[in-house]
């Protein structure tokens, strides 16, 4: 550590006595110095990359997308010199439904909402390759060695109306107007919320949008004061346990992050059984059984798993992109011949 200017940059330098060496006996890390810049405006950040002042940009700003990529996701002429890297992340996005609320206690309502949404259209019109539609997964599809289920909730507005009618709301009649709460900081949040609003209107459900500060959003969701809300989750480590705990009955606030307050004895039994299994393959089989129980009951309105892209300068080598966005720099080096 050399320098820290709050809100601007952090400068790190190689420790001359670092213990680790590569397979050929060369001292690690390869780089002598790293400077991490904080640039709030993504377009300014992009300008710095183009002018050689940065070595990579992540994420790629969506308003620059069409100038960088063609329709087949190939780099356009002005960007051919860059490397483009992408990865399916451990991040899922969903709309939470407070399962203890009188409206959302009925599993048919929760299922109806899931059938009402065309995730493929959301992916193609707004997210532009940056998401994998999630028709019913609690665990991201990018989890290693875990066979994520292909959920049942394909776009089917007729099925959604049928379920809503069975729940006592034919064509949405008698269903109270909902407020969908979302935080203000997300780049795509409002656009996606507006599409969800439009899809639910098709089955007769009226939705108003409420945008609040992130801290207010998280606090009110955690306290169970919001019955319909946008949220996401990024796994801390590559295990389905870290995702499935979001719907574990013992993880309801204040104990944990089961903000939907979903509870199912069968799920809890399987989840806890899996926790006691030491063989990873056997454990994952039981986690999969637990996930299938939860998915059928639709504790959330499932949306998508995020796919992330970054632009990297041509001379950068040994800089792998991983699902958790953990940046391992000890093997990174610069090829000045590029």
Each residue of 185-207: pLDDT tens digit?
Answer: 766 889 999 999 999 999 999 99
Whether the Cβ atoms of residue 85 and residue 309 lie closer than 8 Å to each other: yes
Q: Do domains 3-70+316-334 and 88-306 have the same CATH topology?
A: no
Fold of 3-70+316-334: D-Maltodextrin-Binding Protein; domain 2 (3.40.190)
Tally helices (H) and strands (E) across the chain: 10, 12
pLDDT digit string, tens, across residues 29-38: 999 999 999 9
Which architecture does CATH list for 88-306? Roll (3.10)
Distance from C-alpha of 315 to C-alpha of 62, rounded to nearest angstrom: 24
| Cα separations in angstroms, 87 against 153, 306, 314 | 24, 9, 19
- Digit-coded pLDDT (tens) for 137-179: 888 888 888 888 778 999 999 999 999 999 999 999 999 999 9
- The per-residue pLDDT for range 45-56, each reduced to its tens digit, is 999 999 999 999
Q: In this structure, are residues 138 and 247 in contact, taking their beta carbons and an 8 Å threshold?
A: yes
pLDDT at 84 over 90: yes
Q: How many CB atoms lie within 10 A of CB 223?
A: 11
> What is the predicted pLDDT for the residue at 184?
86
pTM as predicted: 0.88
Hey, where are the domains in the chain?
3-70+316-334, 88-306
Tokens of 60: 């790629």
Q: Label the pairing between strands 207-212 and 178-183.
A: parallel
């Amino acid at each position: 550590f050399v320098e820290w200017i709050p809100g601007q940059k952090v400068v790190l330098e190689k420790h001359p006595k670092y213990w680790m060496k590569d397979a050929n006996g060369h001292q690690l890390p390869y780089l002598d110095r790293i400077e991490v810049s904080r640039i709030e405006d993504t377009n300014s950040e992009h300008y710095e990359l183009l002018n050689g002042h940065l070595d990579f940009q992540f994420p790629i700003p969506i308003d620059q997308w069409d100038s960088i990529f063609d329709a087949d996701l190939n780099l356009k002429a002005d960007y051919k010199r860059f490397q483009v890297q992408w990865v399916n992340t451990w991040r899922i996005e969903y709309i939470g439904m407070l399962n203890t609320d009188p409206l959302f206690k009925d599993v048919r309502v929760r299922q109806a909402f899931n059938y009402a949404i065309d995730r493929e259209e959301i992916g193609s019109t707004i997210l532009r390759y940056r998401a994998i539609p999630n028709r019913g997964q609690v665990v991201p599809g990018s989890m290693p060695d875990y066979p994520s289920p292909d959920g049942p909730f394909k776009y089917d507005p007729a099925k959604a109306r049928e379920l809503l009618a069975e729940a006592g709301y034919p064509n949405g009649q008698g269903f109270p107007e909902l407020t969908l709460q979302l935080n203000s900081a997300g780049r795509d949040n409002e656009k996606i919320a507006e599409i969800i609003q439009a899809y639910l209107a098709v089955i007769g459900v009226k939705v108003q949008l409420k945008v609040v500060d992130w801290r207010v959003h998280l606090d009110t969701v955690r306290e169970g004061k919001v019955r319909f809300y946008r949220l996401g989750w990024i796994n801390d480590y590559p295990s389905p346990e870290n995702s499935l705990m979001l719907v574990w009955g013992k993880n309801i606030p204040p104990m944990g992050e089961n903000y939907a307050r979903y509870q199912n004895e069968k799920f809890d039994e399987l989840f806890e059984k899996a926790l006691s299994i030491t063989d990873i393959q056997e454990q994952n089989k039981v986690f999969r059984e637990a996930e299938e129980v939860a998915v059928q009951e639709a504790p959330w309105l499932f949306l998508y798993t995020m796919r992330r892209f970054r632009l990297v300068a041509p001379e950068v080598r040994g800089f792998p992109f991983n699902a958790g966005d953990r940046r391992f720099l000890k093997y990174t080096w610069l090829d000045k011949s590029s």
